[in-house]
Chains A and B, each alone.
Chain A
Amino acid sequence: MLIEALFYVFAAILVAASLAVITARNPVYSALALVMCFVTSAAIWLLLEAEFLAVVLVLVYVGAVMVLFLFVIMMLDINLAELRQGFTRFAWLGWLTALAVIVEIVGVVWARGGLGIDASRGALPAPAGYSNTLELGRVLYTRYAYPLELAAMLLLVAIVAAIALTMRQRAGLKYQDVSRQVAVRREQRLRIVKMDAEKRP
């Protein structure tokens, strides 16, 4: 009963925040609303006793990805009027995407036993002593060990590629060589000048 009530509260916040992401006039508000979406989805996953996924969602998306998003968005000088110029021109593309997503969701629900899904019944409660983290770890590192390693490799390659693409050697670039800074000697910086005392006026 309490769980269901909490679910509806979080679901309402999630829907409102998702709407705010696309309707907010200020991109910073959109990004913050997206953060809200992630946090409330994590809460809903927690209600389903998927605690590992919930915490990782917050850790990865809220803690790292959205920080970088905000970092970039805040630095942009966005002209809102210019941004809205192509709205009617690209509206059909947006509607098409939305339609495709809706068809996919309905399709998935259909495949899982038709639209007569019993919405009043929540997730089955896990048995006592069940640890979501432990079970996920067990499956990931035994049955799906190779796919996991492959995914990790793929991500590593992506990181290396991103760094390699953005690293340019430009001529005349000034940068600090820290080991040279540390190794500096007094003789290179300081010159002691000996001179005779001036005669007092």
Chain B
Amino acid sequence: MHNGIEQLATTWQSLPDYARSTAWILVITVALIISVALLTLWERKVIGWMQLRRGPNRVRLFGVAPGLGQPFADVLKLLLKEVVVPANSDKFLFRLAPVIALVPALAAWAVIPLSPEVVVSKADAGLLYLLSLTSMGVYGVIVAGWAANSKYAFLGAMRSAAQMVAYEIAMGFALVGVLMATGSMNLGTIVRTQGGGIGSWNWFWLFPLLMVYFISGVAETNRAPFDVAEGESEIVAGFHVEYSGIAFALFFLAEYANMILISTLTAVFFFGGWQGPFEGYPRLGDTFLGQPSFLWLLIKVFVVVFFFLWFRATFPRYRYDQIMRLGWKALIPVTLVWIGVEMLLATYRIGPWSRSWFH
């Protein structure tokens, strides 16, 4: 048994680079899709508890755990339903739009360091790559809204486009702050420079940027309270009003995959990614609690995703002009001011800038 594992490890090491990358891509994609399935259940459960309901508790998986089978039952139902293509829609783009929405959400995982060893691509411009991919997600929404040839869908698409452009800028500036504190665009390096326990993660010195980044992230994923692109009470279901069956499920998958992505990025940029919080503590430092591992990233992502669900159960939806006001007049000035503060901190070598390698 033990021998078999060792043999497997040596075989793994002897595989060529592209084979190992492909294997990791497969593992990450499958894990992500399963996470999305469980996240939908978790969301309904959490919101249920917050509203003093039980949430889904009927469909069992293997006869145990009431509710655990719900996401799989939902997927099966959506797979079996007909994908209705409206008569006056643009047939080609209507079918293409869900794919355009999904691809950036999956492709972004290429540069995310999951543990000290595991990352598909150690791209040097990883941060820019992520920024460009998160901005490409809007094409799925716009194309879907236009191709459906419905006024509601079109309104949703237009709202989404304007919102995305506004919050992209705040997000980019927040990442400029991260770039200044870590001195690299490579995500692996960004995580590595945050080593040394909970106090040396970026969140403390970049707290305003953390807030701006996360709020922009919520807006970018079109989640409540920024979900005017869907806006059930105003424009039915917004950009995906004409979609049914598995085409709708793809939009759903993209939205939840983006949620997990933004949470992971928040953890990577501001909470030290796979770095452990107890690193450098006297007694804990020697056990696995002091070691960096995938487990820490998982816990951090779990907590941040919970905020997404919490927001949805707590806040009423923003009005459209309020969203624009918040993006342009509140978030962008905050980032600009904090970049100025960072310049001062760097000049006087405070916080992350006191590290020796900066000079």
A residues near B (Cβ < 8 Å) are: 28, 32, 35, 51-52, 55-56, 58-59, 62-64, 67-68, 70-71, 74-75, 131-134, 176, 178
Contacts and interface: CB of A to CB of B under 8 A. Distances in A.
A74 B136 CA distance: 17
* B interface, size bucket: 20 to 34
B125 A64 contact: no
A28 B146 contact: yes
A51 B125 contact: yes
Nearest to A71: B161
A69 to B, nearest CB: 10
Given A58-B132, A71-B142, A74-B157, 4 more contacts: A51-B123, A67-B161, A71-B161, A133-B125
Given A58-B132, A59-B135, A67 B142 contact: yes
Nearest to A63: B135
A70 B135 contact: no
B118 interface: no
B142 A131 contact: no
Contacts of B209: none
Contacts of A68: 161, 165
Interface string B316-340: 0000011001000000000000000
A131 B124 contact: yes
A75 B128 contact: no
Query: Dominant SS at the B interface?
Result: helix
A176 B320 CA distance: 13
11 contacts: A32-B93, A35-B139, A58-B132, A63-B135, A63-B168, A67-B135, A67-B165, A68-B161, A71-B158, A75-B158, A134-B124
Contacts of A71: 142, 158, 161-162
A51 B125 CA distance: 7
Contacts of A51: 123-125
Interface of B: 93, 123-125, 128-129, 131-132, 135-136, 138-139, 142-143, 146, 154, 157-158, 161-162, 164-165, 168, 185, 321-322, 325
A70 B322 CA distance: 24
Contacts of A59: 128, 131-132, 135
Contacts of A28: 93, 146
Contact of B128 (A32, A52, A176): A52
A32 B100 CA distance: 12
Contacts of B154: 74
Contacts of A74: 142, 146, 154, 157-158
A75 B154 CA distance: 9
A75 B139 CA distance: 15
A31 to B, nearest CB: 10
A55 B129 contact: yes
A63 B136 contact: yes
Nearest to A58: B132
Contacts of A133: 124-125, 128, 185
B192 to A, nearest CB: 15
B115 to A, nearest CB: 23
A150 B104 CA distance: 35
Contacts of B128: 52, 55-56, 59, 133
B131 A32 contact: no
Q: Which of A35, A63, A134 has the most CB of B within 10 A?
A: A63
Contact of B135 (A32, A62, A132, A178): A62
